Amino acid sequence: MAEKAYITPKVLKWARESAKMSLEEAASKVNKSAEQLSAWEEGEEFPTIRQAEKLAKSYKRPFALFFLPEIPNDFQPLQDFRKSDSKNLTTGSIFIIREIQQKQNWLSEVMEESGESKLSFIGKFSLNNSPTEVAEDIIKTLGISRNMNGQESSVKYWVDQIEANGIFVSRTSFIHSRLLLDKDELQGFAIADPYAPFVFVNSQDWDAPQLFTLIHELAHLWIAETGISNDVEMDSNNSNPIERFCNEVAASVLMPEELIKSFDYRVYDNSKSVFRTAKTLGVSSFALIVRALNLSIISFDHYQTLKAQVQNDFNEFLVREEEKKQKAKQREGGPNPYLLRVNKNSRLFTQLVLDAFRGGNIEPTQASTLLNTSINNFSKLELQIYK
């Protein structure tokens, strides 16, 4: 007879609810009914050790946590800057936020204890400053090139520059193959810590929206406003002044007023010419025409005409992208899983944990947990860092 796990029922229930899982969904993880799981949560019965371990894994909690006498203090929810009618955060979003919080909390404590200096740009500005002023400081601080050769519109280029300045960037579109992240639910978030600031970007989006989101989240750091976003776009009707401000900063970074006003008006002749220019800036066609409207370069009527054309082009783009995805699924291989893990962990974070592990400053089990990778595969992660 399998040995029972005499867990604390209310802790078991809290772990499920904090993972945003229904009784039915969680019970399916151990091939039991919702009624059976409810009985465990009420203390009427107890699961086996194996069943409790499976639930701990599903909830992404340490198994030992189930035996605590009281519900533990958990990470505080990040401030929600999303629109009031946004989707409720589901399991995937909860898990990625908690995972980044755990990484960030550990790293911040380590860096503070080791005497690292605070990053001067965290909270350097506020809503009292102009978005243009913040944008210029972001570009200057990160050493962003303005050569207009296409490099500065690359997400990878920006991530490299950001992490070179001590900001950790996590990018992923899934927790695992069966738990994807919904970009309409969560586009990104920022943790504005002076020792270990983190930015997360949902990579489910294509490159231009990702880049805009990335810079939007940087703006959150520059004004020290930790929180989550899902309404990162140029004509956002989000009433939150922080979100509007960060959108304006991102627009000023990617589409400086002086540069946009220097373009020949023929750029806005039709959606095809708009697309060609938008591509050099690393933004979407939609973002460019909204910026032109806001700067009074084009009239509202012309904006409406272009918007309809751009929307039609975008719908065709989505069809082509879906066809590409289907073809990619049919081909063998796919993205390297260790590269995906490095991007999810943050390249800089991965390197720091590996260095701490190699130097004997961190226990193997903790290093494995932080990187979500077994020790035997650390070398595979390292290969991806230097590629």
Check: pTM over 0.85? Answer yes or no. yes
Cβ partners under 8 Å of residue 377, min gap 6:
338
Domain-by-domain residue ranges, the chain?
9-67, 78-254, 337-385
Amino acid at 132: T
Helix (H, G, I), strand (E, B), or coil: what is residue 25? helix
Identify the CATH assignment for 9-67 out of 2.30.110.10, 3.30.1490.20, 2.60.40.10, 1.10.260.40: 1.10.260.40
- Amino acid 331: pLDDT: 62
Instruction: Report the C-alpha dihedral over residues 250, 312, 157, 175, rounded to 10 degrees.
Output: 90
Report the chain (387 residues): mean pLDDT per 10 consecutive residues.
90 94 95 96 95 94 92 86 87 94 96 95 98 97 74 82 97 89 92 97 89 96 94 67 94 94 93 92 91 94 94 83 68 79 96 95 94 94 88
Radius of gyration (Cα) for the chain, nearest Å? 23
- Amino acid 176: pLDDT: 84
- Amino acid 77: pLDDT: 83
CB 350: neighbour CB atoms within 10 A?
Answer: 24
Q: Please check whether residue 31 is in contact with residue 55, taking contact to mean a CB–CB distance below 8 angstroms.
A: no
Residue closest to 302 by CA, chosen among 282, 280, 263, 274: 274
Cβ partners under 8 Å of residue 203, min gap 6:
171, 172, 173, 210, 343
- Amino acid 103: pLDDT: 96
- Amino acid 148: pLDDT: 47
- Amino acid 377: pLDDT: 95
- Amino acid 153: pLDDT: 59
Q: State both tokens at 97.
A: 């936020």
Strand partners of residue 227: 190
What do you get for the CA distance between the two ends of the chain, in Å?
51
